[in-house]
Amino acid sequence: MEHSTQTHAGSHGDHHHHHEELGFWKKYIFSTDHKIIGIQYGLTSLLFLLFGFFLMIVMRWQLAWPGQPIPVIGGVLEKLMGAPASGGVMSSDLYNMFGAMHGTIMVFLAIVPLAFAAFGNYVVPLQIGAPDMAFPRLNMASYWVFFLGGVVMFVSFFIPGGPAQAGWTSYSPLASIVPTDGQTYWLVGMVLLITSSLLGAVNFLATIIQLRAPGMTWMRLPFFVWAQFVTGFLLLLAFPPLEAAGLMQLMDKVAGTSFFLPTGLMVSGKPADIAGGGSPLLWQHLFWFLAHPEVYVLILPAMGIVAEVIANNIRKPIWGYKPLVYSALTIGFLSFIVWAHHMYLTGMGTAISTFFQTTTIIISIPSVIILTVFFISLWGGSIRFNTPMLFVLAFLVMFGIGGLTGLPLGFSYADLYLHDSYYVIAHFHYIVAPGTIFALFAGVYYWFPKMTGRMMSEFWGKIHFWTSLIFMNLIFQPMFAQGMAGMSRRMYDGAVNYSAATNPDSLGGLSDAMIYSNRTISIAAFCLMIAQIPFIINLFYSIKGGKKAANDNPWDATTLEWQTPTPPGHGNFDVVPTVYRGPYEYSVPGHARDFTPQNMPDAIATKKA
Amino acid sequence: MDIPYTTHPREDTGLYNAKVGIWLFLASEVMLFGALFSAYILLRVGAAPGTWPMHLLNVPLGTINTLVLIISSVTVVMAWASLKMNRFDRFKIYQTVTVLCALIFLVIKSFEYYDKFTHYQVTLADGTVLDGHVVTKDTNSITLHHVKEIKPQSATNTVAAPVAAGAAATAEQGGHAADGHADDHSHGERKIMFSELAKHESGRLKMSNFGPWHNTYMAIYFTLTGLHALHVIGGALVIAYLLGPGTKMWFSDPERFTNRIEVSGLFWHFVDLVWIFLFPVLYLL
């Protein structure tokens, strides 16, 4: 840009010539255009989503048929991973590795970059009427730091000893005393990923604060922008403590410090050769100080997408826009003071537990308000049941299940029993998998025409939706029962060792039905994998072969991203848009059409066609 | 469309983009250092009574470094003010002083680090702890000077008794800081054969310098000051760039250049501010 202002000193505003000059590398790889960066984030994180899913598929085989060689890929795994996969069988070490990396990859490399960075990058500047992000080069830097972090995580699978295996939470001292280098790679990868999201968060916040188009006041922002705004603050303020914790654990790993290693630590029956004096609880506090706000980082952008798709498909304004915004802000604030509800079992004391139990239950109020606003919005709408809307409607129910089943975990006495069981797995997967991921699918189907100028196939979209919905529930619903029956989430043999069949003389063994449901769950998971094939084909085929979108605004939407050329060029808008109204003015009485774009003045809106 | 407010402030916020960006970034930095300070508090509160080492650092050097950074904070403002008054020559002088201050700070800091890496503590087979700076070290002996000798005594032992082998050094270290039983042979040199030394259960000699591995205090000291030093280096590089090749923007877009100096100055103030907290917490308390 500086270059262009020097060469075209006299001709302000004419940058078509300038962006024609960009070669392939500058335009698609090292691009500073927020839309290209958004798509880069999107594709990278979709790949990681698939990879994280693949890890779980392999683990599901082991849980259902413990000790049996993994079909088809067992041999490949043995070649790639060596001893932990010898004979094509998943060893306990390999199970731990895949488990730890499944969580890490899904949270930090798939969902967050997809929900925040990909959709945020593509949509936010368009929705607020900005030409780009506030700091385009910083934006490029955050993508490439993210990419590097992903590479470090991925490479760690192929080092001797394999990747991190102490769970995605990497609790010390366990994580610090595993003798392999996987944890070091994990920590370096995390520091890179955290740096990337910090740069991204600064950029998003500055963009939303500074680059709103004239007339785009705070209460005229589409809810998606609000959701990204709160998410940005969560990332900005919650991630640094984990970066600090990561640095300290890295020091424990490579410099021999004892930040998280207590005095008197025994490793394999011998006193560890360390100075001691550290605090394992310190790691948990710092980790969950990030990781609880992180849950809202996962869900808020999804809620933002839901608001956009719902408003567009009920053809009337969202009921209660302001409560929605205030609830999101309240969630953002409260999410910083609930973290220790992950730590009821650590013996930190009943007084502290009671405090965190109280805040945890309070934070469910704004979440319920948001869900209620969406449900009431449906009332009396003439709903269009297209693919994005189906995913969003399913989100409402699935997120409802996930949210309500979280309440028993928020109460410290109930959590004592349910902690670390399959119940917890079922609870947060209901929020993140059929919750957030469904909303992200809705986002892909909804904004695809803006990105490419073509529609994705409705038929295959509906197949994708119904099969995914059924199999998601077949996977996660039985886990509630397994968890309440007492099945721990960390058993690599599917808890066979704790079954009533293996221990006929002891009380409380897991029943045959609980053990057997491991198989139904696994089969459902394999089917879920097959159900994603239509989506993948649909996504890539439609780029060139999809039905052409009727116009720049095929969904008849009101928000600014649909008032641009398709796909938007460098700089997004031909002229600076002026905003005259709120984000969801559908079916306004007296207006000519059932949607009134934000940048349409009243004089034109009321004119009969 | 060009990106607006890169140079001129937006009316309703009163800020240009980069200033919003740097303030947000500094907010995250507060959380980063805040987490480390919290770790310091938790480790210190959680340490066994009387075992937290104190007064290990050189307060005069720390004071000088504090002054050096305060001076640099002043010059960085003067540099920005000079640009506002269109005095490019003065800007160059002030920013040169800033960069020099950064260098002086780092040089003093590296002397302090060096002192810690050559500061050894060894435990003899009879439990006596010797504490001093290394003169020479070879494969079977170490020579220390300014040796302090701490005889094993009951008060220290009650602290050390329930403690596993690896942690004894911390307790003994605390003993020497807390009680008056240390003999100070300040000027003598003393050669210690490795065969005289006690061993950890792992077979490693009970000999350690005051690196980050020595105890949790040294760990948090090196982590905090190391991270701070990285910030000093980063800030100094940016300021040096804007003093060297970056100055060409002054001739094409002086207002934007002045903004850059302001933004880098804000970061520099933050780096100084962190030190203002680090100095009392690590050196004095």
Per-residue pLDDT tens over the stretch A414-444: 999 999 999 999 999 999 999 999 999 999 9
Across the interface, of B17, B167, B212, the residue whose CB is closest to A255 is B212
Distance CA B233, CA B17 (A): 25
The first and second tokens of residue B68, run together, are 């050096």
A214 lies within 8 A of chain B by CB = no
A201 lies within 8 A of chain B by CB = yes
Of A213-217, A414-418, B201-205, which gets the smallest average pLDDT?
A: B201-205
Among A257, A348, A560, A573, the residue to mutate for chain B (most B Cβ within 10 A)? A257
Determine the average pLDDT of the residues in A456-483: 97
**Percent of chain A's residues with pLDDT above 90:** 84
Contact A277/B165, CB-based, under 8 Å?
no
Residue A15 is predicted with a pLDDT of 43
Q: Which residues of B touch A239 (CB under 8 A)?
A: 28, 31
Of A360-374, A404-418, A528-542, B136-150, which gets the smallest average pLDDT?
A: B136-150
Contact B20/A257, CB-based, under 8 Å?
no
Across the interface, of B10, B17, B166, the residue whose CB is closest to A271 is B166
Contact A264/B212, CB-based, under 8 Å?
no
Pairing of β B119-123 and β A270-271: unpaired
Q: At B192, is the secondary structure helix, strand, or coil?
A: strand
Q: Which residues of A touch B51 (CB under 8 A)?
A: 277
**Percent of chain B's residues with pLDDT above 70:** 88
For residue B179, pLDDT beyond 70 = no
Contact B219/A258, CB-based, under 8 Å?
yes
Across the interface, of B4, B32, B163, the residue whose CB is closest to A263 is B163
Residue A352 is predicted with a pLDDT of 93
Residue A21 is predicted with a pLDDT of 66
Contact A198/B28, CB-based, under 8 Å?
yes
Query: How far apart are the CA of B50 and the nearest CA of chain A, in angstroms?
Result: 13
Distance CA B180, CA A588 (A): 84
**Percent of chain A's residues with pLDDT above 70:** 96
Q: Per-residue pLDDT tens for B221-264?
A: 999 999 999 999 999 999 999 999 999 999 999 999 999 999 99
Across the interface, of B35, B47, B212, the residue whose CB is closest to A245 is B35
Of A47-56, A266-275, A481-490, B267-276, which gets the smallest average pLDDT?
A: A266-275
Q: Where are the alpha helices (DSSP H) in A315-421?
A: 321-334, 350-378, 387-404, 407-410, 412-418
Residue B153 is predicted with a pLDDT of 62
Q: Per-residue pLDDT tens for B12-41?
A: 999 999 999 999 999 999 999 999 999 999
Query: How far apart are the CA of B279 and the nearest CA of chain A, in angstroms?
Result: 19
The first and second tokens of residue A235, run together, are 């990332």
The larger pLDDT score, comparing residue A186 to residue A274, is at A186
For residue A218, pLDDT beyond 60 = yes
Q: CA triplet A297, B267, A289: central angle to 5 degrees?
A: 30
A241 lies within 8 A of chain B by CB = yes
The first and second tokens of residue B258, run together, are 């002045």
Nearest of A311, A37, A44 to residue A200 by alpha carbon: A37
Q: Per-residue pLDDT tens for A15-44?
A: 444 445 678 888 888 999 999 999 999 999
A205 lies within 8 A of chain B by CB = yes
For residue A75, pLDDT beyond 80 = yes
Determine the average pLDDT of the residues in B159-187: 43
DSSP character for B246?
G
- State the CB neighbour count (10 A cutoff) for residue A180: 17
Contact A263/B167, CB-based, under 8 Å?
yes
Q: Per-residue pLDDT tens for A328-341?
A: 999 999 999 999 99
Q: At A217, is the secondary structure helix, strand, or coil?
A: coil
Distance CA A154, CA A163 (A): 9
A321 lies within 8 A of chain B by CB = no
Distance CA A70, CA A606 (A): 65
Distance CA A165, CA A492 (A): 13
Across the interface, of A6, A130, A240, the residue whose CB is closest to B31 is A240
Q: Are A491 and A431 in contact (CB under 8 A)?
A: no
Q: Which residues of A touch B219 (CB under 8 A)?
A: 248, 251, 255, 257-259, 275, 278
Nearest CA in chain B to A238: B31
Contact A210/B25, CB-based, under 8 Å?
no
Of the pLDDT bands very low, low, confident and very high (cuts 50, 70, 90), residue A609 is low
Distance CA A277, CA B166 (A): 10
Contact A275/B2, CB-based, under 8 Å?
no
Nearest CA in chain A to B200: A273
Distance CA B214, CA A256 (A): 9
Residue ranges of A 38-97 with Cβ closer than 8 A to chain B: none
Of the pLDDT bands very low, low, confident and very high (cuts 50, 70, 90), residue A311 is very high
Residue B2 is predicted with a pLDDT of 86
Across the interface, of A1, A265, A266, the residue whose CB is closest to B2 is A1
For residue B136, pLDDT beyond 90 = no
Across the interface, of B4, B35, B212, the residue whose CB is closest to A241 is B35
Residue ranges of A 123-182 with Cβ closer than 8 A to chain B: 130-132, 134-136, 138
DSSP character for B18?
H
Q: Which residues of B touch A131 (CB under 8 A)?
A: 1-4
Of A154-158, A185-189, A458-462, A574-578, which gets the smallest average pLDDT?
A: A574-578
Across the interface, of A135, A243, A259, the residue whose CB is closest to B219 is A259
Of the pLDDT bands very low, low, confident and very high (cuts 50, 70, 90), residue A563 is very high
- Dmax (CA) for chain A in angstroms is 90
The first and second tokens of residue A316, run together, are 């009337």
User: Mean pLDDT over all residues of chain A?
Assistant: 92
Query: How far apart are the CA of A100 and the nearest CA of chain B, in angstroms?
Result: 24
Contact A277/B215, CB-based, under 8 Å?
yes
Residue B148 is predicted with a pLDDT of 84
Determine the average pLDDT of the residues in A544-554: 94
Nearest CA in chain A to B169: A275
For residue A12, pLDDT beyond 80 = no
Contact A202/B28, CB-based, under 8 Å?
yes
A336 lies within 8 A of chain B by CB = no
For residue B147, pLDDT beyond 90 = no
For residue A166, pLDDT beyond 90 = yes
Residue A348 is predicted with a pLDDT of 85
Contact A241/B216, CB-based, under 8 Å?
no
The first and second tokens of residue A20, run together, are 């024609």
Contact A282/B43, CB-based, under 8 Å?
yes
Contact A271/B211, CB-based, under 8 Å?
no
Q: How many CB pairs under 8 A join A and B?
A: 191
A236 lies within 8 A of chain B by CB = yes
Q: Identify the residue whose tokens are 């890295």.
A: A250
Nearest CA in chain A to B47: A277
Distance CA A178, CA A176 (A): 6
Of the pLDDT bands very low, low, confident and very high (cuts 50, 70, 90), residue B149 is confident
Among A204, A258, A570, the residue to mutate for chain B (most B Cβ within 10 A)? A258
Query: How far apart are the CA of B12 and the nearest CA of chain A, in angstroms?
Result: 9
Residue type at B88 in one-letter notation: F
Q: At B6, is the secondary structure helix, strand, or coil?
A: coil
A481 lies within 8 A of chain B by CB = no
- Dmax (CA) for chain B in angstroms is 79
Distance CA B168, CA B165 (A): 6
Of the pLDDT bands very low, low, confident and very high (cuts 50, 70, 90), residue B187 is low
A433 lies within 8 A of chain B by CB = no
Nearest CA in chain A to B49: A277
Contact A275/B167, CB-based, under 8 Å?
yes
For residue B201, pLDDT beyond 90 = no
DSSP character for A436?
I
Q: Where are the alpha helices (DSSP H) in A379-488?
A: 387-404, 407-410, 412-418, 422-431, 438-452, 458-484
Query: How far apart are the CA of B38 and the nearest CA of chain A, in angstroms?
Result: 9
